[in-house]
Amino acid sequence: MAPRFLTLADVTEILNISAQQAYSLVKSGELPAIQIGGRGIWRVEASELERYIERMYEQTRARAAHSGAATDA
């Protein structure tokens, strides 16, 4: 069974981004997350990460269609 919550390190690995980029996504609210415990460790729900990825696909498709860059591949 896959874990419900992911660490920011998990997010960086899944998205192949830097730790700073993952933190920025969370701090901006673009990627919803919660803070756990007294030290405020960030956790991202796996389903929220999947929704974020889907939003990025939608935005990319919209940009491609708008710019005429879509291909018939």
The predicted-structure confidence for 50-59, as pLDDT tens digits, reads as follows 999 999 999 9
Task: For residues 64 and 70, give the distance between their C-alpha atoms in angstroms, rounded to a whole number.
Answer: 5
CATH of span 5-66: 1.10.1660
Instruction: Count CB atoms within 10 A of the CB of residue 44.
Output: 22
- Residue identified by tokens 């956790």 is 43
Show me where the domains of the chain are located.
5-66
Residue 46: what are its φ and ψ, rounded to 5°? Answer: -55, -40
The predicted-structure confidence for 13-68, as pLDDT tens digits, reads as follows 999 999 999 999 999 999 999 999 989 999 999 999 999 999 999 999 998 888 87
Instruction: Count CB atoms within 10 A of the CB of residue 6.
Output: 21
